[in-house]
Amino acid sequence: MLAALAREGVDCTGCPRRAGVSTALSAIFIDARGDRVIVTYRDERLEAMLPDDPTGLVASVDAVLADNRFPDFVRPICLAARDRGLPVVLDADRPTQMSDDLFRIATHVVFSSECLRATTGLDDLAAALARMADRTSSFLAVTQGAQDVLWREGVTLRRSPVFAVKAVDTLGAGDIFHGAFALALAEGKAEIAAMRFAAAAAGLKCTRLGGSAGAPHRAEVDALLATP
């Protein structure tokens, strides 16, 4: 896995290794519409791992993207990033408690629709975002596949349209959305422009097979954004 990341130009020097602890492994099933089911094996001992040097990890970065599957691991990294005044984007994909402090530590929280409903206990996504807004001052948004991204501007609910594509494989689309959103924020884009950029990247991903292997190049995303 580390070798595959290195081939993509990812710096893995900050990745902790623990003897005898297995890397997580997933089996992925994709249907004819491009929807997928993921079955994951994850060594329980991963839950106890903590970053060795969170301050050093964020010393030379422009933004931090974390998900909430290993909250104890990412929390000190996110706090170190906030101390530097960096954007901290939380990919909220794992249902948890509304009181989770990661929702307040992050500058931007982008939920999956499933996570937001399960975390708040509300089916209506607009109401669920409003309930979360009572708990945090962070920017809040929720993706919902082929439907508009919902987000809050103050007390107002906004919609950011996604791109209409023929989905072949949705695997990794959420990860690519969050990664592109964090990249755009690091480049100084406003949230609405960052979501548009992220929607273009995720939409292109859905038109091709593969998770990270199906991620679009920057020029492809810019070309789609330039399409009338």
Averaged pLDDT in 10-residue chunks for the chain of 228 residues: 89 89 87 82 88 94 95 96 98 95 97 96 97 96 94 95 90 94 97 97 93 90 92
pLDDT of residue 42: 86
8 A C-beta contact, residue 137 and residue 123: no
Question: Mind listing the domains of the chain with CATH numbers?
Answer: 52-225 (3.40.1190.20)
8 A C-beta contact, residue 152 and residue 131: no
pLDDT of residue 17: 87
| Average pLDDT score, the chain | 93
pTM to 2 decimals? 0.91
- Mutual angle of helices 125-133 and 113-120, in 10-degree steps: 60
pLDDT of residue 48: 87
pLDDT of residue 89: 98
**What is the C-alpha to C-alpha distance for residues 207 and 107, in angstroms, rounded to an integer?**
30
**Inter-residue long-range contacts of 28-35, CB under 8 Å, 24+ positions, other chains counted:** 28/171, 28/211, 30/169, 30/170, 30/171, 33/167, 34/167, 34/168, 34/169, 34/170, 34/206, 35/167, 35/170
